[in-house]
């Protein structure tokens, strides 16, 4: 199987090692995070991004926040644990994997409440849980790829939006894992990557990652996708997700909704790929998904160049919601699910 061309996040010598994605594709540099505040900063400022990768970092961030705890009893330890998880929860609002991982770590920290408290054992349990989250993510990526590659045929030209590959996970990705597994099966594919304004994750990350893995890729401006669909030059679309509501409505990088509408008009299959941890069954539909609003200068002064009047008002949501009616299928680590999602996704609750 194709391996991730570079490791995005991993635990190394008592620290969390993160590839600083704000510098790609011009510079490959890792940052070392021995403290929880550094993990928070990395998530907040997009040094690490992609819902699964954020979840992995959150797990390790909790451990780092509790690593030096001097708590003498369970109550003090859990109070400190609550403070750390609450702090990390403020880093970004939309990617549900962040909150999923924080809940797992908090639950792990409240182990064996009827047994005598041992702070060393509690820390060890947190370490083991963070490690499990990382290893599970790698396996989930493999499973998504194995299930999803069946949706792709040799000769397909596949459009993707934003980055949902190895740079967004601890493994080979979500949407891009389908591409990697299809190639491993001998299928010939060509990928069209939207540049993904305003932070250019498609241009800076997806195009770079696919080239590293020797996958044929062509970069286009976001506004070109519809024209290519009309010309018959795109026949499949695969994207990732940051949160999926109970009815299948999906939050992903801003611009995904536009792609889905165009796909529906041109009768092109539109697939979403995500692990089960990205589903938020407590949210009934996409209207209740919190959407992060980013700083105006990401648009006015992108990458240090003023491309708009300095005081022009800006609306800069990081995500949009694609209604479930526009989605052909959702690929998960537990299989491929088809409409009606309100019924089919019930299996994931079991």
Residue 1: its pLDDT value, please? 43
**Average pLDDT over every residue of 11-18:** 94
Residue 105: its pLDDT value, please? 97
Q: Quick check: is 311 in a domain?
A: yes
Q: Exactly one of 194, 222, 242, 249 is catalytic; name it.
A: 242
Sequence-distant (≥ 6) Cβ neighbours of residue 320 within 8 angstroms:
251, 252, 253, 254, 255, 256, 257, 258, 291
Query: Are residue 34 and residue 162 in the same domain, yes or no?
Result: no
- The mean pLDDT of the chain is 95
Q: Look up the domain containing 337 and give its range.
A: 147-349
Query: Are residue 54 and residue 201 in the same domain, yes or no?
Result: no
Query: Are residue 36 and residue 100 in the same domain, yes or no?
Result: yes
Cis bond before residue 198 (omega within 30° of 0): yes
The pLDDT tens digits for 141-186 are: 999 999 999 999 999 999 999 999 999 999 999 999 999 999 999 9
Q: Is 156 part of the annotated catalytic residue set? A: no
**Average pLDDT over every residue of 300-313:** 96
HSE at residue 213, side-chain half, CA atoms within 13 A, is 29
Strand partners for 12: 15
Query: Are residue 64 and residue 190 in the same domain, yes or no?
Result: no
Listed residues 100, 116, 142: the one ending a domain: 142
Residue 95: its pLDDT value, please? 87
Q: Quick check: is 1 in a domain?
A: no
Q: What is the rounded end-to-end Cα distance, in angstroms, of the chain?
A: 30
Per mean pLDDT, which of 93-97, 105-109, 238-242 is the most reliable? 238-242
Structural domains counted in the chain: 2
Query: Are residue 171 and residue 308 in the same domain, yes or no?
Result: yes
Question: Taking a C-beta distance cutoff of 8 angstroms, is the pair 245, 308 a contact?
Answer: no
Check pLDDT > 50 for residue 2.
no
Q: Which pLDDT band, with edges at 50, 70 and 90, does 117 fall under?
A: confident
CATH code of the domain in which 290 resides: 3.40.50.10470
Q: CA triplet 142, 101, 332: central angle to 5 degrees?
A: 30
The pLDDT tens digits for 55-90 are: 999 999 999 999 999 999 999 999 999 999 999 999
- Inter-CA distances, 286 with 115, 250, 319, Å: 42, 7, 11
The pLDDT tens digits for 46-62 are: 999 999 999 999 999 99
Query: Are residue 131 and residue 153 in the same domain, yes or no?
Result: no
Name the pTM for this structure: 0.93
Check pLDDT > 50 for residue 262.
yes
Q: Quick check: is 244 in a domain?
A: yes
Nearest to 148 by CA among 174, 171, 117: 174
CATH code of the domain in which 22 resides: 1.20.120.420
Query: Are residue 74 and residue 200 in the same domain, yes or no?
Result: no
Residue 194: its pLDDT value, please? 98
Q: Quick check: is 155 in a domain?
A: yes
| Phi, psi angle pair for 248, to nearest 5° | 100, -10
């Amino acid at each position: 199987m194709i391996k991730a061309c570079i490791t995005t996040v991993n635990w190394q010598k008592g620290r969390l090692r993160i590839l600083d994605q704000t510098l790609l594709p011009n510079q490959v540099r890792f940052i070392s995070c021995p403290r929880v505040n550094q993990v928070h900063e990395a998530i907040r400022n997009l040094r690490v991004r992609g819902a699964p990768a954020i979840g992995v970092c959150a797990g390790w961030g909790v451990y780092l926040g509790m690593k030096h705890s001097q708590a003498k009893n369970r109550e003090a330890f859990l109070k400190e644990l609550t403070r750390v998880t609450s702090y990390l929860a403020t880093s970004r609002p939309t990617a549900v994997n962040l909150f999923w991982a924080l809940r797992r770590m908090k639950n792990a920290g409240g182990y064996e409440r009827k047994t005598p408290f041992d702070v060393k054992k509690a820390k060890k349990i947190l370490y083991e849980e963070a490690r499990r989250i990382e290893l599970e993510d790698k396996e989930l990526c493999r499973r998504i790829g194995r299930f999803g590659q069946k949706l792709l045929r040799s000769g397909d030209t596949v459009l993707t939006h934003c980055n949902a590959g190895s740079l967004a996970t601890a493994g080979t990705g979500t949407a891009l894992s389908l591409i990697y597994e299809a190639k491993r099966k001998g299928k010939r594919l060509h990928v069209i990557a939207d540049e993904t304004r305003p932070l250019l994750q498609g241009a800076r990350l997806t195009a770079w990652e696919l080239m590293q893995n020797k996958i044929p890729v062509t970069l286009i401006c976001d506004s070109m996708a519809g024209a290519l669909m009309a010309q018959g030059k795109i026949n499949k679309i695969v994207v990732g997700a940051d949160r999926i509501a109970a009815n299948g409505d999906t939050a992903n990088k801003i611009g995904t909704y536009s792609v889905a509408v165009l796909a529906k008009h041109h009768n092109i299959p539109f697939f979403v790929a995500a692990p089960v941890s990205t589903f938020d069954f407590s949210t009934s539909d996409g209207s209740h998904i919190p959407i992060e609003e980013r700083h105006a200068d990401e648009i006015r002064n992108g990458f240090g160049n003023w491309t708009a009047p300095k005081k022009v008002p800006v609306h800069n949501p990081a995500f949009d919601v694609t209604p479930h009616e526009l989605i052909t299928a959702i690929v998960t680590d537990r299989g491929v699910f088809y409409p009606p999602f309100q019924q089919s996704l019930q299996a994931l609750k079991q």
